[in-house]
Amino acid sequence: SLVLKSVCDKDGNALQNISGIGDLIRTDRADDIIEDNAIDIVVELIGGVHPAREIILSALQRKKHIVTANKALLSEHWKDIFKTASANGVFVGFEASVGGGIPIIRVMRESFVSNNLDLIYGILNGTTNFVLTMMADNDCPFEKALAIAQEKGIAESDPELDISGKDSAYKLAILALLGFGIDISPGEIYTEGIDNISPQDIKYAERWGYSIKLLAIAKSTSEGLQLRVHPTLLPSYHLLANVKGEDNAIFVRGDLVGESLLYGKGAGRLPTASSIMGDIVEIARHIAFLDKKGAALYNPLYAAGSIRIVDEEELSIPYYLRFSVIDSTGVLAGISSVLAENDISIASVSQEERREGQTVPVIILTHKAREGDMRRAVAVIDKMDFVTEKTVVIRMEA
């Protein structure tokens, strides 16, 4: 039997408003829970790094098991946490830290444990996926789509962590640790948000047979491991292309399992609670039927970090480019020559509109090109007299 004994919150009103839980102890001091010898499992759901790190380490040192949904803390301080858990023979459950109610952590550390993975694609943030869906389905500009997400409670009042891609980078760092044994800080992952995506880019992508998603990518290549978060053109037939609204999905490819997709609610109180309770019950089963102690449920201290991480400028991928230019003779030739000088090969070209003397969009899809070459080429093109706006550059995946 599981017995909820105490709840802690700095907000006294929040504590008093909890109903239907009988004689539950309510406190605004975390130490009251940590120092209670009758408590076996501590659930941390306050988010952020501090004071969550100090609370968790203190609880582990007192041989209490931990369940957490704290992606920021785990992605930065997993070594301290799992080393302390291992030294004290207690468990750490963190299913809710990535994908909300999607059981990706358990699947990767158990079901896929015999696989050598070569690819993880993740739609890991419900806010950005909802915004992109609104832009695609309703032709909403970014600002309006974001406002709708905030009205519905899908986006925070300050959505910067989501929109910037940083939230997805936290989660990708955890998935990279699980899938590839790589110790990397989210700050070391190339990260780009969705605030520069417009409905016209989504419309043009659809004409070419693509959808735009904010993807978290871990990809094993001959050059090393690519780790990046950015808006991405995906073929419309890809399993992830039709993941809509605030749903999340993680696409994994392994040498034994092949391609697999986990899909569902990636955030929200109830999906998160589902994962948290799954960890609590798993820990309780170990305590009840196996032993009072044990190694952490997943201890990634084996991570060697020997896989080479590909520098972002060395990435070799195809690109979508939208140039805003004055409609005049020689424009396309000028753009093409700069791309050729930087070893960038054009796959397709489309001038969507003709208005002589006025600004029109020119869309170019490229073959694989190096990121560094692309940045240099775009920097030169954006300074040309006929270019009226900063070029939109979106990476593509097959």
Under 8 Å between Cβ of 135 and 145? yes
Q: 172: how many CB neighbours lie within 10 A of its CB? A: 29
Beta bridge partners of 32: none
The alpha carbons of the chain give a radius of gyration, in whole angstroms, of 24
Own/partner pairs, 139-145, CB within 8 angstroms, 24+ separation: 139/199, 139/203, 140/199, 141/198, 141/199, 142/194, 142/195, 142/197, 142/198
Distances, alpha carbon 33 to alpha carbons 24, 28, 57, 63, in Å: 12, 10, 13, 13
Active site members: 171
For residue 69, which of 50, 36, 92 has the smallest C-alpha distance? 92
As to burial, measured by CB atoms within 10 angstroms (0-12 exposed, 13-18 middle, 19+ buried), residue 390 is: exposed
Residue 99 tokens read as: 């994908």
Which residue shows structure tokens 């090969």? 345
What is the β-pairing status of strands 247-254 and 392-396? unpaired
Q: Give dist(CA 344, CA 373) in Å, integer.
A: 7
DSSP letter, residue 108: I
Q: Give dist(CA 39, CA 16) in Å, integer.
A: 21
Under 8 Å between Cβ of 314 and 223? yes
